[in-house]
A and B are shown apart, each in its own frame.
Chain A
Amino acid sequence: MTDYGRDLLFGLFVTPNAAAVDLTVTADRAGLDLVSFQDHPYQPAFLDTWTLMAYAAARTSRIRLLGNVLNLPLRPPAVLARAAASLDLLSGGRIELGLGAGGFPDGIAAMGGPRLTVGQRIDALAEAIPIIRDLWDTGTRERVDHRGEHYTVVGAKRGPRPAHDMGIWIGAYKPRMLALTGRLGDGWLPSMPYLPRGADSLPEMNARIDEAALSAGRDPARVRRLMTFTELDGPPARRVDHLADLALHHGISGFIVASDDPRTADILAAEVAPAVRDLVKRERGAVPAA
């Protein structure tokens, strides 16, 4: 039972097609905090998520954007680091890096990506994150060298540096990935339907992240816990209580709803978010977070 005490974020999880641009504009105007985009390049009907994000970023002014989650095997870390930092600069610090080890091996192979086992994909992610962070770190002029099993970067120049302290938020479910998230991530970005026992899985999964963070000498509260929900359903009163409960007792501080419907953006921004924020603020005031 944890509340990491972080500010709450509300956003959408959208299908990466051309309509997502208008949806992002709507969400921006409605006052949502973020829009996150699926990344399945092997789906012929979907756009390239990075291209879509860059385009949507150009047409919005306030809202944060991220992949939920970007497919690492199809997006090599050096390219991703430069692209993400650039878009963060161009957009005025509105990009977070949602990253996953990559599912759907047949789809990845069909798009020319490597065919890896689950274990190899996790190893590759663990190699990629330090490469990305090094390339972002322009505090030194030392060239970046990483010689890994999956990614090798030799003598790479650093930069550009993102406009803000960009978070690497990781899609993770299984113990090894949760540990990796605690060790290397700035955020945890799962989807509720993939949790084995729904919200009841959260204490155990949070604990795995916390343990790994502590063993790596990091503050577990540094890892923001977000959650993607399949839909915004149920009567509003219970909905608010449910989300507040997740925030206060399971440390969830990002609420992302899968929807391509602009009305969801409005309801989430105008009704749900303020009510959840109020309730959480009151409760936190009554029982200060640890």
Chain B
Amino acid sequence: MTEGTALDLATARVGSGEFTAVVEQTGGDVRLTDADGTGLDPWTTAVWLAGRNDSIRIGLPAPVAAVSPEMREKAYESFEILAGSRLMTGAQRREGIDYDGIPASLADTAVAPGDPGYRARKSTYMRGGSPGLVLRPRTPAEVADALAFARDHRHLPLGLRSGGHGFSGRSTNDGGLVIDLGAMNDVEVLDEDRRLVRVGPGATWKQVSAVLDKYDWAIGSGDYGGVGVGGLATAGGIGLLSREHGLTIDRLRAVELVLADGTPVRAGAEENQELFWGVRGAGANLGVVTAFEFEAAPTGDVGWAQLVLVSPDFEQALKQYGEVARNAPRDTTIFLMAGPPREGQSVIQLYGMVDSGDADTVVERLTPFASIGQLAQQQVVITRYADVMGQAADVGAGGHHGRGEPISRSGLLPVLTDAFARDAARLLRSGQVFVFALRHMGGAIADTPPDATAWAHRTPEFQVTALGSDRAGLDRVWDRLAHHFDGLYLSFETDQRPERLRDAFPPATLSRLRALKRRHDPTNLLRDNFNIDPEVEK
């Protein structure tokens, strides 16, 4: 398979006949070899050759020497931008992956480092990554093939990816496998009378809402249309309609999944009820969901509000927001976002939805929120849920290009007390938090009993998230708030300390989940996203 020229970097002399022949070669491949590591630098030479000769392809003797995977990927990306896809893939491939053993059903669509399209699939919205192989199944059978390949590669990280949008989700990694469900993105109405909709994990909520809009339906999702269905609908789903219709998982009626051993299973009210219980809150630990069946809610026009307020006293504004939000009717969901105060002023963004097409009702609902500070900007429109989700940019073929690791903490707040408002204001003054967000809960979320799904925290008033840029710094200031919280929502959490699992799942829930894990993934294949270890008790 290797035609072309070999050039040994240890003996190559610039300007020698051998070297000139390579530079002037018309087309074909040049393979660099690096016998003793003291000759020309392989990467520098590869790039230089690509710059001298526009038609050759170049093979490296080893991956680029770099301080980190991020820097190595940056070098590859830069090469591709400058010189096109002219690196032969071999050297960019990662150790410990049987590239020749990729199942036939997945071989055509799989993407490895060096392949065209790798750049578009290696990173997520929030996180830079460099997986060794991205498998892209289109059917449950292909998901089973991908899981079989993963079982042969237990030594590697394994990410499951739907929309690639999550903070916490390990939907990419360094040198491991990713099962990318993006191709499984069908949205199909199953039963118009019962408003039953079947959705693939790779669809985005923007795509789902656009289909449902034609029927005057909606399924409450998160607050951003670019989020994928799979990640959200296995974790929870706190969104703009949750107070009216419950969490996204509360709208689920059945799921189909492929278990770690490759078995396809259907779970719902009729069958595999316990598994269905666990998928709703801890799905990523239990299998790869290949189809979700939701009951959509009738939804007409909605009010969509974006307000910007300024306040010299964030503590007071937060207290007032808590009071207003607590007393809001179920049709009203208003989230709050703020950064650190600047020159004594906090800029507070409120955004959210009133599930009503009546302008007077919308104004009436929003008015108390608009008084928590001095109103600086406002945009309120009567629109469609699908149009709100539709504001998310289409990612397209270019893919996500997140960098580094997001640093976030999260908590569920039973009551927004005066003490919390004081401590939150202090948190923002610490300089460790650049975004602080409250998601408005309550209402229909509490209509589902705590033991009905693996998402047990049904009664908090708010879900709280902080983003920072320094892991230790954020943990230090956030851990001081711990006594205010009861539980957390994993989707906004990036702290890897094991206590977080116990925050997310109360003891009874966690013990049930471990039992499920022992039954459905006893070898703990699915372990990279807040792992529920089947072997650990408590």
Cross-interface CB contact of B404 among A54, A87, A111, cutoff 8 Å: A111
- Does residue A157 face the partner (Cβ distance < 8 Å to B)? yes
- Does residue B271 face the partner (Cβ distance < 8 Å to A)? no
Q: Which of B37-89 contact A (CB under 8 A)?
A: 37-41, 43-45, 47-52, 65-71, 74-75, 77-79, 81-83
Check B70 against A51 for contact (C-beta < 8 Å): no
Cross-interface CB contact of B405 among A42, A76, A91, A110, cutoff 8 Å: A110
Question: Can you list 10 pairs linking A and B with CB atoms under 8 Å apart?
Answer: A47-B81, A50-B43, A52-B82, A57-B51, A58-B49, A74-B68, A83-B41, A89-B14, A90-B45, A112-B70
Check B78 against A74 for contact (C-beta < 8 Å): no
Determine how close the nearest CB of chain B comes to the CB of A146; give it in whole angstroms: 17
Q: Which of B13-55 contact A (CB under 8 A)?
A: 14, 36-41, 43-45, 47-52
Instruction: Map CB proximity to B onto A108-123 as digits: 1 under 8 Å, 0 otherwise.
Output: 0111110000000000
Given A48-B75, A160-B40, the answer on whether A55 and B67 have CB atoms closer than 8 Å is no
- Does residue A82 face the partner (Cβ distance < 8 Å to B)? yes
Q: Which of A23-74 contact B (CB under 8 A)?
A: 41-42, 44, 47-48, 50-52, 54-59, 73-74
Check B45 against A86 for contact (C-beta < 8 Å): yes
- Give the nearest-CB partner of A59 in chain B: B51
Interface residues of A (CB under 8 A from B): 18, 21, 41-42, 44, 47-48, 50-52, 54-59, 73-76, 79, 82-83, 85-87, 89-92, 106, 109-113, 157-160
Bound form: Cα–Cα A112–B50 in Å: 27
- The 8 A-B residue pairs with the shortest CB-CB distance, nearest first, are A112-B68, A58-B51, A110-B404, A54-B47, A86-B41, A48-B78, A47-B78, A51-B78
Bound form: Cα–Cα A111–B75 in Å: 12
Check A18 against B82 for contact (C-beta < 8 Å): yes
Interface residues of B (CB under 8 A from A): 14, 36-41, 43-45, 47-52, 65-71, 74-75, 77-79, 81-83, 128, 401, 403-405, 469-470
Kindly list chain B residues whose C-beta atoms are within 8 Å of the C-beta of A82. 41, 44
Determine how close the nearest CB of chain A comes to the CB of B164; give it in whole angstroms: 16
Check A112 against B51 for contact (C-beta < 8 Å): no
Check A157 against B36 for contact (C-beta < 8 Å): yes
Check A111 against B41 for contact (C-beta < 8 Å): no
Check B403 against A51 for contact (C-beta < 8 Å): no
Determine how close the nearest CB of chain A comes to the CB of B424; give it in whole angstroms: 23
Interface of A is mostly: helix
- Give the nearest-CB partner of B37 in chain A: A157
Check A51 against B71 for contact (C-beta < 8 Å): no
Check B79 against A51 for contact (C-beta < 8 Å): yes
Kindly list chain A residues whose C-beta atoms are within 8 Å of the C-beta of B39. 159-160
Cross-interface CB contact of B70 among A92, A111, A160, cutoff 8 Å: A111
Determine how close the nearest CB of chain B comes to the CB of A81; give it in whole angstroms: 9
Bound form: Cα–Cα A18–B52 in Å: 16
User: Could you say which of B37, B47, B128 has the most chain A C-beta atoms within 10 Å of its C-beta?
Assistant: B47
Check B47 against A113 for contact (C-beta < 8 Å): no
Determine how close the nearest CB of chain A comes to the CB of B538; give it in whole angstroms: 35
- Give the nearest-CB partner of A110 in chain B: B404
Kindly list chain A residues whose C-beta atoms are within 8 Å of the C-beta of B66. 79
Given A87-B48, A110-B403, A112-B67, the answer on whether A48 and B74 have CB atoms closer than 8 Å is yes
Check A18 against B470 for contact (C-beta < 8 Å): no
Check B404 against A90 for contact (C-beta < 8 Å): no
Determine how close the nearest CB of chain B comes to the CB of A40; give it in whole angstroms: 11
Given A106-B470, A113-B67, the answer on whether A58 and B404 have CB atoms closer than 8 Å is no
Check A110 against B47 for contact (C-beta < 8 Å): no
Check B40 against A111 for contact (C-beta < 8 Å): no
Bound form: Cα–Cα A274–B66 in Å: 41
Bound form: Cα–Cα A54–B77 in Å: 14
Bound form: Cα–Cα A90–B50 in Å: 13
- Give the nearest-CB partner of A51 in chain B: B78
Given contacts A58-B52, A74-B67, 6 further A-B contacts (CB under 8 A): A48-B77, A55-B50, A86-B40, A86-B41, A86-B45, A113-B71
Check A86 against B67 for contact (C-beta < 8 Å): no
Kindly list chain B residues whose C-beta atoms are within 8 Å of the C-beta of A111. 67-68, 70-71, 74, 403-404
Kindly list chain A residues whose C-beta atoms are within 8 Å of the C-beta of B83. 55
Kindly list chain A residues whose C-beta atoms are within 8 Å of the C-beta of B51. 54-59
Bound form: Cα–Cα A74–B39 in Å: 22
Bound form: Cα–Cα A76–B404 in Å: 19
Determine how close the nearest CB of chain B comes to the CB of A26; give it in whole angstroms: 16
Bound form: Cα–Cα A59–B65 in Å: 24
Check B404 against A55 for contact (C-beta < 8 Å): no
Check A44 against B401 for contact (C-beta < 8 Å): yes
Kindly list chain A residues whose C-beta atoms are within 8 Å of the C-beta of B75. 48, 50-51
Bound form: Cα–Cα A74–B72 in Å: 10
Check A57 against B81 for contact (C-beta < 8 Å): no
Bound form: Cα–Cα A59–B14 in Å: 16
Determine how close the nearest CB of chain B comes to the CB of A117; give it in whole angstroms: 13
Check A21 against B82 for contact (C-beta < 8 Å): yes
Bound form: Cα–Cα A212–B430 in Å: 40
Kindly list chain B residues whose C-beta atoms are within 8 Å of the C-beta of A52. 78, 82
Kindly list chain B residues whose C-beta atoms are within 8 Å of the C-beta of A113. 67-68, 71
Bound form: Cα–Cα A30–B336 in Å: 56
Kindly list chain B residues whose C-beta atoms are within 8 Å of the C-beta of A112. 67-71
Check A83 against B43 for contact (C-beta < 8 Å): yes
Determine how close the nearest CB of chain A comes to the CB of B113; give it in whole angstroms: 15
User: Could you say which of A47, A50, A75 has the most chain B C-beta atoms within 10 Å of its C-beta?
Assistant: A50
Kindly list chain B residues whose C-beta atoms are within 8 Å of the C-beta of A56. 51
Kindly list chain A residues whose C-beta atoms are within 8 Å of the C-beta of B38. 157-160
Check A51 against B40 for contact (C-beta < 8 Å): no
Check A110 against B81 for contact (C-beta < 8 Å): no
Check A83 against B403 for contact (C-beta < 8 Å): no
- Give the nearest-CB partner of B40 in chain A: A86
Check B44 against A54 for contact (C-beta < 8 Å): yes
Given A90-B40, A157-B37, the answer on whether A55 and B48 have CB atoms closer than 8 Å is yes
Kindly list chain B residues whose C-beta atoms are within 8 Å of the C-beta of A57. 48, 51
Bound form: Cα–Cα A160–B37 in Å: 10
Kindly list chain B residues whose C-beta atoms are within 8 Å of the C-beta of A55. 47-48, 50-51, 79, 82-83
Kindly list chain A residues whose C-beta atoms are within 8 Å of the C-beta of B403. 42, 44, 110-111
Determine how close the nearest CB of chain A comes to the CB of B408; give it in whole angstroms: 14
Determine how close the nearest CB of chain B comes to the CB of A141; give it in whole angstroms: 11
Given A90-B40, A111-B404, the answer on whether A41 and B74 have CB atoms closer than 8 Å is yes
Bound form: Cα–Cα A56–B50 in Å: 10
Bound form: Cα–Cα A231–B47 in Å: 31
Check A58 against B50 for contact (C-beta < 8 Å): yes
Bound form: Cα–Cα A158–B37 in Å: 10
Bound form: Cα–Cα A128–B44 in Å: 20
Check A47 against B44 for contact (C-beta < 8 Å): no
Check A89 against B40 for contact (C-beta < 8 Å): yes
